[in-house]
Amino acid sequence: MSSALTSKSASSIIEAVLRRDPNESEFIQSVQEAIHSLERVIAKNTHYVRILERLLEPERMLVFRVPWIDDKGESHVNRGFRIQFSQSLGPCRGGLRFNPSMNLSVAKFLGFEQTLKNALSPYKLGGAGGGSDFDPKGKSENEIMRFCQSFMQELHRYLGPNQDLPAEDMGVGPREMGFLFGQYRRLAGHFQGSFTGARIFLSGSSLRTEATSYGLVYFAQLMLAEMNKELKGLRCVVSGSGKIAMHVLDKLVAFGALPVTVSDSRGYLVDEDGFDYMKVAFVRDIKVQQRSLREYCKTYTRSKYYEDAKPWNERCDLAFPCAAQNEIGQSDAVNLVSSGCRILIEGSTMPCTPQAVDVLRKANVLVAPAKAAGAGGVAAGELELNQECNAIQWSPEEFEHKLQEAMKSTYQRTTKAAADFGYSKECPEALVHGAAISAFLTLAQAMTEQGCV
């Protein structure tokens, strides 16, 4: 197939998306990255261009009003989103994000990324994303509960075990999932395990919240093993201090690595001696009490806090971005390369801007995409459902073993697809392309079999 035809087809898809959604920068960025990864697939079979065109239009987009009353009796209104991106492989699963930056573009990009992530997994799952521009920061527990109830008042009619299964994302943790599920159960009139969250699956293992993060660290281990290396003693720079980041720290400590940073939107903290379990617990306490990371330095006086700065210029072997999309820009990527980073594991969804991706590729930094490295959350959700439906109970050790196996098979699927399409192990983007290719081929097969629907 001529490359002229390929690039013409790929650019016509991007043009169509741009025409339809000209202001959706996050969604367009994730589409462009996927198309870049799929270039060789499209070149082999132009039928895939039509499939991709269809895939890029979400099956269903829900946008709704969420009114709620604060503790003083004043009314507020936010916007809710749920993008049921694709159900070709099964019922949707995907996170809910409560953050002021949430809009239709972010909801669509999250839904699209989740669709590929779920398709890469061994489970039959569709993909969705959503949430609200509601900011849980500074709200009381009652205000958060009232908001969650109002959000679910509308969304419940589109959810269900065979339809859509919401999960955690930024600003939504076990507490919010509890409130959301409570209202869903009341409105739906049944207690079916259609939500993920440790407190809801009372009979399940308690590893649901940890699973994505543990999976990220297992994935790093698998990449290192390929190079006959191990995590022990390696310096790791971690961003964020939320659910994903804190459990990554725990697991890195468990494997004898040296995590040295955490951050939030106000700045970052570096502890040259590395965090241990006690220090991680201390950071967690600081965050729970909504205090500044700066306070850590009063107790651990060799540490430093930098306001309005990111951790990417700290000396490291591995980087784990675990905060927000586009948190690594071009200059951050340059800093990462000069500080010695060889491997970047994407904890956050789409952490690098296209310019940063370019810098990392040219410097041969190996990138583990969130679609593959973040598969632990998908696997844990399915394992939990399995426990719930079959009334079985695994110990945390058994659960963790199953999680490790799931990460191993995701890693193998990713490397196989990369190799099948000629990306060598040394290619810095082999895993990025392999993950997208494997996911897309699975979706394409189902979409072809199901006809034009």
Ligand X SMILES: NC(=O)c1ccc[n+]([C@@H]2O[C@H](COP(=O)([O-])OP(=O)(O)OC[C@H]3O[C@@H](n4cnc5c(N)ncnc54)[C@H](O)[C@@H]3O)[C@@H](O)[C@H]2O)c1
Measured at CB, which residue is nearest to ligand X?
A: 242
Does residue 349 have a known ligand-binding role? no
The amino acid at residue 377 is G
Nearer of residues 242 and 434 to ligand X, judged by Cβ: 242
Nearer of residues 263 and 442 to ligand X, judged by Cβ: 263
Nearer of residues 308 and 426 to ligand X, judged by Cβ: 308
Q: H or E segment at 433? A: helix 430-449
Q: Least separation, in Å, of the C-beta of 426 and ligand X?
A: 27
Nearer of residues 58 and 129 to ligand X, judged by Cβ: 129
From edge to edge, which strands make up the β-sheet containing 267-270? 261-264, 267-270, 304-307
Largest interatomic CA distance in the chain:
66
From edge to edge, which strands make up the β-sheet containing 75-86? 60-69, 75-86, 126-132, 92-98, 164-168
Q: For tokens 């699973």, what's the residue?
A: 211
Q: Least separation, in Å, of the C-beta of 7 and ligand X?
A: 31
Nearer of residues 27 and 421 to ligand X, judged by Cβ: 27
Coil, strand or helix at 2: coil
**DSSP at 231:** S
Q: Which value, in Å, is the radius of gyration of the alpha carbons in the chain? A: 21
Q: Least separation, in Å, of the C-beta of 134 and ligand X?
A: 13
Q: Least separation, in Å, of the C-beta of 42 and ligand X?
A: 27
Q: Least separation, in Å, of the C-beta of 93 and ligand X?
A: 11
Does residue 84 have a known ligand-binding role? no
Can you spell out the DSSP letters for 196-257? --TTTSTTS-S-HHHHHHHHHHHHHHHHHHHTT--STT-EEEE---SHHHHHHHHHHHHTT-
Q: Least separation, in Å, of the C-beta of 124 and ligand X?
A: 20
Q: Least separation, in Å, of the C-beta of 387 and ligand X?
A: 18
Q: For tokens 């801007």, what's the residue?
A: 353
For 197, the token pair is: 């969250």
Does residue 6 have a known ligand-binding role? no
Q: How far apart are CA 430 and CA 270, in angstroms?
A: 31
Q: How many CA atoms lie within 13 A of 355 on its CB side?
A: 9
Write out the residues near ligand X by the rule CB under 6 A: 95, 167-171, 212, 240-245, 263-265, 322-324, 327, 347-349, 374, 377
Q: What are phi and psi of 104, to 5 degrees?
A: -65, -40
Question: Which sign, positive or negative, has the C-alpha torsion 151, 152, 157, 163?
Answer: positive
Residues 6 or more apart whose Cβ sits within 8 Å of residue 141? 175
The four Cα atoms 276, 282, 283, 288 give a dihedral, to 10 degrees, of: 150
Q: Least separation, in Å, of the C-beta of 156 and ligand X?
A: 21
Residue 291, Cβ neighbours under 10 Å: how many? 11
For 387, the token pair is: 């426990």
Q: Least separation, in Å, of the C-beta of 95 and ligand X?
A: 6
Q: Tell the burial category of 367 from Cβ atoms under 10 Å away from its Cβ (0-12, 13-18, 19+).
A: buried
Q: For tokens 């098979």, what's the residue?
A: 409
76: β partners: 68
Nearer of residues 98 and 421 to ligand X, judged by Cβ: 98
Q: Known binding site for NAD(+): residues? A: 212
Known binding-site positions for substrate: 114, 117
Residues making up the binding site: 114, 117, 212
